[in-house]
């Protein structure tokens, strides 16, 4: 293995435009920090920003993303990377740097993985940002990063890429299952198009409807409305200090375990070394909510974790718990946690809930107040039970995919340093 400066592996290193354009709801997608996932670029979600053609041509004069280029974030979180795939027309957002890889000197896919290695990430974490409000990699420092270069880059890149692509495929399947759960929920519980008691094809909401003042809308006359906080009890997590954390112990879901889209983030798990009371243990399928946030409230909910919920995945071998920044929402009416999980994913409910967040630098959520919004439910529990059964089936598939991703990620992360140190080789 030899070590080469990043600038010597690139034909150009380009700082992306610093100005913020006027975002559009359609047009040409813009890569931003939160679009970098699993070493690839995801522009398939709902949290995508767009620019028009005129703005696009203005911005690409400085940085034109092309297949095989690497995008790296220069501000918090620093050092997150993504590879520009074939056929992607896009432009660069703020706080990103575009690496034009010299393919004669380095395989772009190998460089992508090398940038995520502990060796390189340690260099990034050591960057002195004293005096800066936001951690930031300047271009000169980025150019000086040492990259481990090995023989057999092509073979290493193919193997690492095949693992990453399987992780990405699983991630897309998980997203599809979550989307399906949202779609069915919307049909059955907001549009009131649902199967009849015999499971026959959907019936429309053309039956008797009555106006409900709490919801400011019409609902089926056989449905009722109740505040969510009457349907759920709130169980709070455990208090802890830095001394209670270790590399081993009881896995603890905390505010860092929540993605901004209301899904589980495995990388955020902490480990609690103290004693956990029986009442503070979590179980698969439990509904948890984040009640703390260290950034200002975003009324769109796109950058928030506060008031976001997810179902605890079935991916842990032993007991798990939750921190003081998380609460468990225990249902009083069987199956309703699956409905509440979908309700709080909606922007309108999130705006309502986030109105109960207060604090100066750190926001804390009044969970009881955040759950004071009205919930509409059928008198007959059959529809709730049916949706719960479907959700549990989808949940099982999601958990299986997450478990496989954990194993693949662990394999990839163990393999990369072995290849770099010469402790492992790949037959051609």
Which among 149, 170, 188 is the end of a domain? Answer: 149
**pLDDT surpasses 90 at 37:** no
Task: Write the CA distances from 226 to 36, 38, 46, 52, 372, integer angstroms.
Answer: 40, 41, 30, 45, 9
Place of tokens 């100066």: 360
Q: What is the mean pLDDT of residues 114-122?
A: 92
Question: Helical H runs in 126-152?
Answer: 139-143
Strand order in the sheet with 245-253: 270-272, 245-253, 320-322, 281-282
CB atoms inside a 10 Å sphere around CB 360: 5
- Portion of the chain with pLDDT greater than 70, in percent: 95
pLDDT for 236 equals: 96
Q: pLDDT digit string (tens) for 337-355?
A: 999 999 998 888 998 998 9
Question: Minimum mean pLDDT among 47-56, 230-239, 314-323: which range?
Answer: 47-56
Residue 219: half-sphere exposure toward Cβ, Cα within 13 Å: 18
Residue 44 CB partners (closer than 8 Å, separation 6+): 172, 175
What is the full DSSP assignment across 341-386? Answer: HHHTTSHHHHHHHHTTEE-SSSEEE-HHHHT-SEEEEESSTHHHHH
Within a domain: 264: yes
Within a domain: 189: no
How far is residue 111's CA from residue 95's CA, in Å, rounded to a whole number? 20
pLDDT for 74 equals: 87
| Domain match, 116 and 221 both | no
Q: What is the mean pLDDT of residues 377-403?
A: 94
| Domain match, 369 and 269 both | yes
**pLDDT surpasses 70 at 205:** no
Which among 378, 401, 423 is the end of a domain? Answer: 378
pLDDT for 131 equals: 47
How far is residue 367's CA from residue 289's CA, in Å, rounded to a whole number? 9
CATH code of residue 238:
3.90.220.20
Q: pLDDT digit string (tens) for 180-200?
A: 999 999 999 998 888 776 666
Q: What residues make up the domain containing 289?
A: 204-378
Q: What is the mean pLDDT of residues 389-415?
A: 94
Select from 394, 402, 82 the least CA-distant residue to 259: 402
**pLDDT surpasses 90 at 93:** no
Confidence of residue 424 (pLDDT cuts 50, 70, 90): confident
* Whether 329 contacts 323, CB under 8 Å: no
How far is residue 337's CA from residue 345's CA, in Å, rounded to a whole number? 13
Confidence of residue 204 (pLDDT cuts 50, 70, 90): low
* Whether 69 contacts 84, CB under 8 Å: yes
pLDDT for 221 equals: 85
Within a domain: 219: yes
pLDDT for 36 equals: 86
Within a domain: 307: yes
**pLDDT surpasses 60 at 408:** yes
What total number of domains does the chain contain?
Answer: 2
Partners of 290 in beta bridges = 326
CB neighbour burial string for 133-153, b if at least 16 within 10 angstroms, e if fewer: eeeebeeeebeebebbbbebb
pLDDT for 128 equals: 61
Within a domain: 400: no
* Whether 303 contacts 261, CB under 8 Å: no
Within a domain: 324: yes
How far is residue 9's CA from residue 413's CA, in Å, rounded to a whole number? 23
Which tops the pLDDT comparison, 23 or 307? 307
| Domain match, 141 and 213 both | no
* Whether 112 contacts 70, CB under 8 Å: yes
How far is residue 149's CA from residue 177's CA, in Å, rounded to a whole number? 39
**Token representation of residue 406:** 């954990």
**pLDDT surpasses 80 at 110:** yes
Residue 11 CB partners (closer than 8 Å, separation 6+): 100, 101, 102
Predicted structure pTM score: 0.83
| Domain match, 210 and 118 both | no
| Residues in the chain, total | 428
**pLDDT surpasses 80 at 428:** no
**pLDDT surpasses 70 at 262:** yes
* Whether 229 contacts 336, CB under 8 Å: no
| Domain match, 210 and 115 both | no
pLDDT for 199 equals: 65
Within a domain: 289: yes
- Portion of the chain with pLDDT greater than 90, in percent: 57
Question: Minimum mean pLDDT among 76-85, 192-201, 245-254: which range?
Answer: 192-201
pLDDT for 267 equals: 84
Within a domain: 156: no
How far is residue 364's CA from residue 293's CA, in Å, rounded to a whole number? 7
Confidence of residue 217 (pLDDT cuts 50, 70, 90): confident
């Amino acid at each position: 293995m030899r070590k080469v400066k990043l600038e010597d592996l690139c034909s150009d290193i380009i700082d992306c435009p610093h100005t913020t354009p006027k975002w559009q709801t359609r047009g040409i997608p813009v890569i931003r920090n939160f679009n970098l996932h699993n070493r690839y670029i995801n522009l398939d979600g709902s949290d995508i920003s767009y620019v028009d053609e005129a703005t696009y041509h203005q911005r690409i004069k400085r940085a034109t993303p092309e297949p095989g280029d690497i995008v790296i974030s220069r501000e918090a979180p620093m050092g997150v990377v993504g590879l520009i795939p074939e056929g992607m027309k896009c432009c660069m957002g703020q706080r990103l740097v575009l690496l034009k890889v010299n393919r004669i000197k380095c395989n772009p896919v190998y460089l992508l993985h090398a940038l995520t290695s502990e060796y390189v990430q340690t260099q990034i974490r050591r960057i002195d940002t004293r005096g800066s409000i936001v951690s930031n990699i300047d271009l000169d420092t980025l150019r000086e990063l040492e990259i481990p270069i090995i023989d057999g880059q092509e073979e290493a890149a193919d193997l690492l890429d095949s693992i990453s692509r399987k992780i990405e495929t699983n991630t897309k399947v998980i997203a599809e299952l979550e989307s399906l759960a949202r779609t069915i929920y919307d049909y059955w519980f907001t549009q009131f198009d649902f199967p009849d008691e015999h499971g026959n094809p959907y019936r429309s909401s053309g039956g008797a409807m009555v106006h409900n003042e709490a919801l400011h809308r019409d609902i089926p006359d056989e449905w009722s409305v109740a505040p969510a906080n009457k349907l759920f009890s709130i169980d709070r997590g455990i208090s802890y200090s830095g001394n209670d954390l270790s590399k081993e112990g009881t896995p603890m879901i905390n505010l860092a375990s929540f993605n901004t889209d209301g899904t589980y983030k495995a990388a955020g798990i902490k480990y609690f070394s103290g004693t956990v009371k029986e009442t503070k243990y979590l179980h698969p399928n439990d509904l948890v909510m984040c009640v703390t946030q260290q950034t200002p409230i975003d009324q769109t909910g796109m950058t928030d974790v506060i008031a976001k919920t997810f179902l605890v995945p079935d991916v842990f071998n032993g007991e798990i718990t939750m921190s003081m920044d998380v609460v468990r929402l225990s249902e009083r009416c069987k199956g309703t946690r699956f409905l509440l999980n979908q309700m709080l994913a909606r922007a309108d409910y999130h705006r309502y809930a986030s109105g109960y967040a207060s604090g100066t630098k750190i926001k804390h959520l009044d969970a009881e107040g955040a759950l004071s919004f009205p919930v509409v439910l059928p008198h007959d529990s059959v529809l709730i039970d049916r949706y719960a059964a479907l959700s549990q089936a989808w949940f099982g598939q999601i958990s299986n995919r997450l478990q496989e991703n954990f194993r693949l990620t662990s394999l990839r992360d163990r393999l990369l340093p072995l290849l770099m140190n010469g402790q492992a080789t790949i037959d051609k």
